[in-house]
Each structure stands twice: as C-alpha cells, then as structure tokens.
Structure 1
Amino acid sequence: MTTTAPAASTLSRGRTAQVRLQRFGAFLTGMIMPNLPAFLAWGLITALFISRGWLPNGVLGGFGDAGAPGAWQGAATQLVEADDGTTFQQYLGLVGPMVTYLLPLLIANAGGRLVHGERGGVVATIATLGIIVGSTVPMFLGAMIVGPLAAWVMRLVDGLWEGRIRPGFEMLVNMFSAAIVGGALSVGAFFGIAPLVTQLSAWLGDLVGWLADNHLLPAMALVVEPAKVLFLNNAIGNGVLVPLGAQQVVADGKSLLFLVEANPGPGLGILLAYALLGVGAARSTAPGAIVVQFLGGIHEVYFPFVLMKPALILAAIAGGATGIATNVVMGSGLVGPAAPGSIFAVYAQTARDSYLGVTLSVVLSAAVSFLVAAVILRATRARDLAAGESGDLAAAVAQTEANKGRSSAALGALVGDGAAVTHDPDGERGADVARVRVIVFACDAGMGSSVMGAAVLRDKLRKAGAEHVTVVNKAVATLDDSADLVISQRELTARARIQAPTTRHLSVDNFMSSPVYDQVVAEVVAAQDGTAAR
C-alpha cells in the first residue's frame, strides 16, 4: 500500500506533463500550420529564382543589379555595398521580403488570434514588426514569442474596463486602446526583445553548428523520433527546426533541418516490416497505411504500429539518424518545410543540387528502419502468432485503463471480441445517440489524421443512409462543446476532454480501420430506425 500511492502520483505527474507538452506543441502548430502555404510558396520561389535555383532571376530572386543595361524598371531596389566598397542598387526581390516580413507577421497574427481573437491578431502583428526591424535575422522565433505575448497583454488591458465603458464610447476606446498598446509594444519589442531573441537565435544556430562540427546531428533522431510517436513533435518541429531551417536557407540556400522530422523513410520502413512480418490486423492494415504515410504525408498512421510494440522505436531512431547522416554526408537539404511529410512535398522543396542526397536519405532511412523492425518483429513473431490478436490488444487495453484511472467494462468486452482498442471515457457508449448530429474527429493539428478519419467515418455514414450526421475535422486546441461526439487518437483524448468537457468522447488507436467507426454507425442507424418507428 505504501508504494502504490507514490507510483500512482508519479504516473499522474508524467501524464500531466505529457498533456502539457502536447498542448504547447499544438499551440506552436496553431501558429505555423495555417501559414504553411506561405512557407511552401516561399520555398518554391526560392528554389526557382535565387542564383542557384532552377530559373535564376535577378529581379525576383533579389540578386540582380538594378543599374545594369536593360534592367527591369519599376521594381523595388535596395542599396548594397560591394566588396570593393562601392555601392549599387540591387533588386529587393521576393525571397528576402517574404522571409523577413511576410512569414513572421503571419505567424504573429495566427498566434495573436489563438490568444485573443481577431483583436489579438492585429496587436500581435503591430508589436512583431518592432522586433523584425530591430533585428538582422529572420524573426520566426521572435514572432512566436512576441505575437502571443502582445495578444495576452491586450487581453489583460481589455479586461480592465470590460463592462465599464459608457454606451456609445466602446468603439473609440477599443480602437485607441489597441493602437496604443500595439504601438507601445512595437517600440518595446524593438529596443528590448529584439536583441534578446537575436542572441537566442544565434545560440541555437551555434548549437546546430556545434552538432555539425562534432558529427552529432544524427543524434537529433534520439529526441525527434520518440517525440513524434508521443505526439510531441510539433513543439520540436514547428518551434525549433522550421525557424532554424529558414535561417539556414537565407544563409546557405538550403537546410537539412527541414527533413529531420518530415523524412517519410523511417515510417515507411516500419510499415513495410509489418506488411511482411506482422500478424493479424496489423499486417493487413500496413499496406494501406504505407500509401497514406509515404504518398499522403500523414505520418501519424504508423504511430499505432510502434505503440503496439514499443521496441520498434529503435527502428524509427535508427532510420531517422541514417537519414540525417546521409544528408550531412551529401550536403543536401530542402529550401522550405515539407508539409505534409509526403515524398511529393519533399521533392517539391528539394534544393536543385540535393535530389540525389535527399533520395538517398529517404531510401536508406527506410531500409535501416525496415531491417531493425524486421529483426524485432521476426524475433517476436512466434509469440505474436501464439497470442493471436488479443496479446497486443490486452496490453493496449491495460494501458488505456491506466491512463483512464479506472477499469471499464466496455474496454474489457473489446478484448473478448478481438477488436481494436476503443475508449469511451464517459462510459455511456449508447447514450443519447439519437441526438448525434455533429461528430468531430480531432487530431493535433486538425489537418492530418483527423482529415482521413473524418473521411472514413463520413463515407461509412453515407453508405448506411445516415447522411443527416455532419462529420468534420478540427485541431484539438479548437474544440468546444458544440459537437455531439468527439473522436480522437488515444494519446490526445485527455487534451480533447479538457477542451470539450461536457461532450461525449471516443478514442481510436488505428484511425484507418478502427471498429469504433462501425460501432458509431450502428448506433446512429439504430437510433434513427427507432425514431422512425415511433
């Protein structure tokens, strides 16, 4: 008895810490993900028009002499000092202004909106401009700090006189308060925060340089690959790797940091191993997961396969380290983030001189992860065949109940049925099904597995004649209690319940072919038939 309480307390603290990290990562994703089309546009423009691009163009790439004979007239220019001390007018181009102004301001606006809505987004944008012009490096990190901070300050200021403004003066107060706060924060960011973030960016860049100089860059896989499986990758990828990668592109024209997390090779190798050496539903599901993961770029589809056999994290780490090492040796990289992590997106953002290196990094990482995963699966194949599909299921149910904090009859019944793990935290799978009109499938970013899961469930409901039910996908951070049912991955259900505490929740481990979809469809149809009979 004396050892149980501390152990339970430690487990609870660990779970709370994981949920907090996931929420932090989701917040960073909420700033980056909506703006990824702008990142991709910048990457494509960079790949095409810089001096080392496919279609070098001095006007668009920003390296041409505006005073040369036949120069393009009317384009924006900047005064540049040559090596010999002379100065000349050079085209400003698209690449520089986009990475200096457009991308950080978009990030800041998105972060401000997350904190204080449209008003917070405007103030965040104003304040972030101060840190941009007060620094000599792209202020991605600065935008991710100043944007939400400025919106939070605006929310505090608004709270001071909420409900106390005389009727007719609301617009006057709101307009001038946002202008004053935004302007003051912009000046403060220029003088106070810009030097600090510039130094922070320099330290992070020096850290990456130190890792490169000491041949330790592949060690990043020790952190990134486990973080991906635990849905903590957004804090690392969007919070650190994307900003640092963008700074390297400005300096070197490409960066391998964009491919540390987005490399589809490790997941491909694991899924191939399951397709050849797996048993039961895992083996039959793996080929379809390969298409979604490698071509569609939805890496989440291989996470459940790793969770079923945690030793496979070694395969992911080995594959990820191999991919990084290959890019280091070949000097290859991308010109922008590959999002989603599809092989098509990877090639679209590959630097002109890096196609061989990037291809090898994907192929070799997949080969290494496959070999390691194959050894692990082959070593446990006899035991898995003897246990059937209930071995992993029983362990997964036990883990789910541990996360839940109490036993569940519904979960216990699933083991007997040999179905994949589902989780009904409310313990009322059939309650109020007749009122289900809106179902939300939630994932970390709202653009990955939730899209696929919602499409699968929507198609099943349509075929069952339950087209009156609306199925949409959202990010966990944007959930509320307006839906009748929320479906999420098991690792994200705790966060989903915080965002929508009164909504019914279900969890899935394999969102490609989970039986929870069929159960929901059956309940909706049964409730529909019952209502029609009455």
Structure 2
Amino acid sequence: MGQFNIKLTIQKLGNLLSSMVMPNISAFIVWGLLAALFLPAGLLPNENISNLPNIMITCLLPLLIAYTGGKLVYDQRGAVVGAIATVGVIAGSDIPMIIGAMFVGPFAAYVLKKVDLNLESRIKSGFEMLVNNFTAAIVGGLIAIGAFFTIGPAFAIIIKALSQSVFWLADTRLLPFSSILIEPAKLLFLNNALNHGILLPIGIEQVMETGKSVLFLMESNPGPGIGVLIGISLFGKGSARRTAPGAMLIQFFGGIHEVYFPYILMRPLLIIAVIFGGICGIGTLVYLDGGVFSPISPGSIFSILALTPQETSTYIANLSGILVAGIVSFLISIPILKTAKDKEIEEANLVSVIPNVTKIHFACDAGMGSSVMGASLLRKKVEKIDENIEVLHSAINDLPEDAQLVITQKELTDRAKNKAPNAHHISVEHFLSSSEYDKLIEHLQKVRKESSMIAEKNISLLLEENIFLNQRFTSKEEVIRFAGNALVQAGYVNKSYIDAMIERDEMISTYMGHGIAIPHGTEEAKKDVIHSGITVIQVPEGVDFNGQKAYLIFGIAGKDGAHLKMLSQIAVICSDSNNIEKMVRANNVKEIIRILDLENKEES
C-alpha cells in the first residue's frame, strides 16, 4: 500500500508538471526559435535582439508556468498570486527559474486558498472585495520575499548540481544509460515528472550555452516506440497486431507516445527492447552531436525536424538517433514476440453502466494525447446511437466529481477512480481498439432500449407518490425545487433539470393565474428529460409567485414535445374553477388523479 501511495503521488506530480508546461509550450517554441536565431551561438547572432529570448527565459516563461500552476490549484486568484510569488524566485537567482516557478506557483495558490477558507465566514458583508484583494497581495508579497531569500538560491544550487551531473554523464559517455530510468518511467506515466521537472530546465541551460540540447530528445525520441510497434505489426498476435499499424502512425507522426505504452505492458519483456533502443538512440545522438533548440511537444518526427538547428550535421545526427533507436528496439522485440503465448484481452466490465449517461469522459495523463484520439474515435460511434451524448477528453486531474462514465487506459484507472469515485470506470488496453468501444456502444443501445420499454410499460405521467397534499413553502423557488426533486426521484429527469426550472421561471413567470403555477424547464434542458412526467403539489395556504398566490403547483417534464400536450391538457382542466377548487380541497391523492386523468385525456 505504501508503494502504491508513493507511485500515485509521483503520478500526480507528473500530471501537475505536465499541466503547467503543456498549455505554454508555444511560448517555449517561440523562445527556442529566437534563441536559435539571435543568441551568440545562433544562426544570426544579434546583440540587441538576443535580449528578447533572454527576457523570455528569465521572466516570461517562469511567470507563465507559475500563473498556470496557480490557476490549476485555485482558479484566477491562485494564478495571480502564483505569478506574484514567483517574482521572488526570479529575482533571487541568476539562472532561469523554470523549476522554481513549478513549485512556487501552486504553493502560493494553495496557501491563499487556505487563508480564504479561514476568513470566509469572518468577512462582513460589503467588504469581500477589499479583503480578497488585500489577502492576495499580502500572501503573494510575503511568499515572494521568502522565495527571494530561500527558494530561489536553493533551486539555483539544485539545478546547477543536476546540470553538472548531466554534463558529467555526457562527458563520460554515460548519458545513454539514462534510458534505464527514462523508458520505465514513461510506461508508468511518470515521464512528465522527469521530463518537465529535470530535463527541461537543464536543457534550457544547455541551449543558452550551445544553441541546442540533446536532453530534449531523450524522452521524446519516437525511435524506441516505433521499433516495438513495427515488431508487433509483423510478429504480434490478436488485436495487438491488428491495431499496431494505426498506433504507429499516431506515435511517429502525431507524437503521442502514450499509444505504445499498453502494448508493452501486455508483454512486459518488451521493456528491454525500448530500454536498449533508448540507450543506442541517445548514444548515437551524443556521438554525432545531435540536439534541438526547444522542448518538443508533441514528440513527432515533424516536431523534431522543425526544432532542429539549420545544420546538415545536426539533421543527420537527430535522424540517425531516431533510426538507430527504432532498429535496435525492433530487433530485440522479435524474439520476445515470437515466444509470447496467445493472451485474451480482458473485457471491460459493462454490466453496471448507468442507463442514462449524457457525458462520457475519455481521460489520460495530460488530457492532450491519447484522450484526444480515443474521444474522437468513440465520438463517431456514439453519435450513431444518440447525438445527445457528449464524448469529452480531459486530463485525469480535470475530471469533474459528477462524471458519469470515464474511460481510461488500464494503468490509469486507479487514479481516475480516486478523482471521480462516483463514476462508472471502464479500462481499455488500447485506445485504438474498436472492439472495446463496440462493446460499450452495444451495451448502451441495449440499456436504452430496455429503459424505453420500461418507460412505455410502467411509467405513467402521474404517479400517486408524486402528488403532495397540504404542503407549506416560504418562496416560489423553494416549491419549484421541491417539484423538481420529486421529478428526479421518480426517474423522470436528471438533477440538472431543477436549475433549468428555476431559470425558466426567472425568464417568464410560470404562474398561470387562478391560483395555478406550472414550473418546467427551459428548451435547452430537454436533454435532461428521461421520461415525460408530472408532479402535483397542493399548498392550501398558497405560496407567492411575484405577488400572486399559487395553491396548485404542477411540475412537469416533457420528452419529444410531450410537455406541450401536457400544458394544454392541464390548461383545459383548470379552466373550470370547480376543478381547481376540488383539487385545492382534496383530502386524498386519488381524487386529484381522477380529476386530472391525464392518461385517458392523452389517448382521446
């Protein structure tokens, strides 16, 4: 359990680091281009313009990362305070403080969040804005000062030590053996912690000195992965062999490396192939003096070529590093694959998929890789059975607490369950495996068909348990929410329909006159209606609806235009004042059902 918790913590750290870097990758690319062109080691050295990349790397990039990290923790307030606090880190060091910003930004936001929670109940009405501004300023300022004297100098020492270690590995030609750590880390989805937390800031140091860095190619080299996928395409078995060609295209040209992780985890010995492929690839890059001038995202062949300095020798070095890594991993994978036994892929457990799912979340580590591809494939299939079901992609860290159905790769399911414990979770081995999605689609079709049959046979428009006598309410919102909750409990609507009923009444009053109110949802809320239904609430003392007393409240939900018929039928019944008086004075629900008799009236 302890090892699992440590692993989970490191995975969360990797996800946080990735979430801070990925939204700002374009800024890194701009910096890399300017550095490659105008720094003293660049193609067009220019003393004046070289100030641009220098300012970007020392100020802009750390502030962007801190801002993004703070926003992940505490929205806009956290973003601003994170950026303020990071100024102290920047001023307290003479090297780019990328890694310092990754720490200080989220930390400052977290502190502000705790301060706000402690002060929330103590702030007098009308002083919220004043207090919020001053607390943000004080927290940000204090952390900035503290970071200036502590965090900045400390991280400067750490970065310099790590840089010296990497340089030592390079000088002693031991750098290739870092793949022994890098490749297994990738398979455990810990590559973001390693890549963005250590290799990126050290790589930036190298670029400023030499105009390029091999470190940016150590984790993003597509060679090891493509070699294994080619091997599986030729010598694999079952669905792995069928889906590997598609995975090859996505991994090599799209740069989404996560696509090959499950293939290796299905046959763990293949880790040997990618490790040795990585070692040989990095060795080739070091020997031929390869490298790029900016972080690579995504790790595709196109990105690598675009970020390679305009030198023929460097192009040859980078392409050779990829080619050698691919060939080595391919050759080593052949005997491993040929000795593998047939293995059935574990089927996803679809038994308990919720019947009225409206959103499906496909989640991966950073929300910008395999989840995008998986969501795209699944979306096309889902649209054929129900265009109202949304298929979304996101990072696991961004999954909403009210998620209904979450699909993840098998290795990430535990993290997804921890983030969205109330959702139904489906694990897949390959996000390209259409068979898994076909099973889900088949199950959704079956469940929806069964739900429709049950609705036709067993669910009436009005049930006795949805008639409430002798109720008291202090406001119209209270009674509308009561009516909405009754519709939810009866299985007519989703919970979000309640807010739509409130919104509809605020737009145009649902008081109809003669002591009758008929609250219902907005047009946009029709997607939240599961079955047509009605609830009746008797309020003998009345409840205020914009100055008018309502004694009978009809909460309705109509599917496929059924609410228009229901409104019309209730209007006809209540046009007779005798019917209204009888229902207001009714002592039992059967009398109200007899007067309304919606089922018979609908048939007629």
The TM-score, its normalising length taken from structure 2, stands at 0.72
Instruction: Provide the residue aligned with 1:41 in structure 2.
Output: 30
Residue 112 of structure 1 deviates from its aligned partner by 1.1
Alignment correspondent of 2:160: 202
Q: Are 1:115 and 2:73 counterparts?
A: yes
Q: Which residue of 1 aligns with 2:134?
A: 176
Residue from 319, 335, 338 that aligns with 1:359: 319
Secondary structure in 2 matching 1:487: strand
By relative contact order (CA 8 Å, sep 6+), the higher-ranking structure is 1
Q: Distance in 1 between matches of 2:347 and 2:300?
A: 28
Larger radius of gyration: 2
CA distance 1:48–1:421, shift in 2 (3 Å): farther
CA-CA distance at 1:304 after TM superposition: 1.4
Query: Given that residues 403 and 422 in structure 2 are in contact (C-alpha distance below 8 angstroms), is that contact kept between their aligned partners in structure 1?
Result: no
Q: Which residue of 1 aligns with 2:594?
A: none
Q: 1:517 Cα deviation (Å)?
A: 1.1
Alignment of 1:429 with 2:313, yes or no, is: no
- 1:343 is aligned, of 301, 308, 314, to 301
Q: Structure 1: how far apart are the matches of 2:229 and 2:354?
A: 38
| Paired AA for residue 170 in structure 2 | A
Q: Greater CA deviation, 241-250 or 264-273?
A: 241-250
Match of 1:288 in 2: 246
Instruction: Give RMSD over aligned pairs.
Output: 1.7
The corresponding residue for 1:486 is 406
Q: Distance in 2 between matches of 1:186 and 1:522?
A: 56
Residues 499-518 of structure 1 correspond to what in structure 2 (within 5 A)?
Answer: 499-518=419-438
2:14 to 25, 49, 56: 25
Instruction: Name which of 362, 367, 373 aligns with 1:446.
Output: 367
Distance 2:391 2:147 in 1: 43
The residue identity in structure 1 corresponding to 2:333 is A
Q: By how many angstroms is 1:450 displaced?
A: 0.3
Count of aligned residue pairs for this structure pair: 452
Q: Which shows bigger deviation, 435-444 or 15-24?
A: 15-24
Distance in 1 of aligned mates of 2:145 and 2:354 = 55
> Displacement of 1:352 after TM fit?
2.3
- 1:430, distance to aligned residue in structure 2 (A): 3.8
**Partner letter of residue 171 of structure 1?**
M
Give the AA of the match of 2:445: V
Equivalent in the alignment of 1:474: 394
Give 1:422 shift. Answer: 3.7
Separation (CA, whole Å) in 2 of partners of 1:128 and 1:490: 37
Partner of 2:4: 15
Is 2:262 the partner of 1:330?
no
- The separation in 1 between residues aligned to 2:152 and 2:8, in whole angstroms, is 31
Residues 1:458 and 2:379 aligned together: yes
The answer to whether the 8 Å contact 1:221/1:320 transfers is yes
Percentage of identical aligned residues? 46
Q: Which amino acid letter does the alignment assign opposite residue 250 of structure 2?
A: V
> Structure 1 residue 520 and structure 2 residue 440: aligned?
yes
Say if 2:222 and 2:251, in contact at 8 Å, map to a contact too.
yes
Q: Distance in 2 between matches of 1:494 and 1:37?
A: 32
Distance 1:531 1:308 in 2: 37
3-state SS in 2 of match to 1:467: coil
- Number of the residue aligned with 1:309: 267
Provide the secondary structure at the position in 1 that maps to 2:121.
coil
TM (norm. structure 1) is 0.82
Cα contact 1:53–1:352 (8 A) shared by 2: no
- Structure 2: distance between partners of 1:141 and 1:211: 21
Supply the distance in 2 between the matched residues of 1:521 and 1:377 (Cα, whole angstroms).
32
Amino acid in the other structure paired with 2:382:
L
Mark the CA change 1:431 to 1:264 in structure 2 (over 3 Å): closer, same or farther.
Answer: closer
What CA distance in whole angstroms lies between the structure 1 residues aligned with 2:182 and 2:260?
Answer: 15
SS at match of 1:161: helix
SS in 1 for 2:126: coil
What is the 5 A alignment of 1:58-97? 58=46, 63-64=47-48, 91=49, 93-97=51-55
1:145-188 superposed Cα distances (whole Å, 9 cap, x missing partner): 21122112212222221211000001000001111221222122
Map of 2:494 onto structure 1: none
Residue number in structure 1 paired with 2:115: 157
- Note the C-alpha offset of 1:41: 2.2
CA distance in 2, matches of 1:217, 1:112: 34
CA distance in 1, matches of 2:76, 2:347: 38
Counterparts of 1:331 and 1:431 in 2: how far apart (Å)? 54
Counterpart of 1:371, as a letter, is L
Tell whether the 8 Å contact from 1:423 to 1:490 is kept in structure 2 after alignment: no
Letter in 1 for 2:167: G
Shift of 1:436: 0.5
Q: Which residue of 2 aligns with 1:405?
A: none
One-letter amino acid of the counterpart of residue 360, structure 1? S
1:226-237 matches, cutoff 5 A: 226-237=184-195
1:423 Cα deviation after fit: 4.1
Kept in 2, the 8 Å contact 1:508–1:514? The answer is no
Q: How many Å apart are 1:259 and its aligned residue?
A: 0.5
Cα deviation 1:407-463 (Å, max 9, x = unaligned): xxxxxxxxxxxxx32444xxx624432x1000000000000000011011001112x
Q: Distance in 2 between matches of 1:19 and 1:314?
A: 24
Cα pair distance change 1:214/1:52, threshold 3 Å: closer
- Per-residue CA distance 1:453-476 (angstroms, 9 max, x = gap): 1011001112x3321110000100
- Match for residue 207 of structure 2 among 216, 229, 249: 249
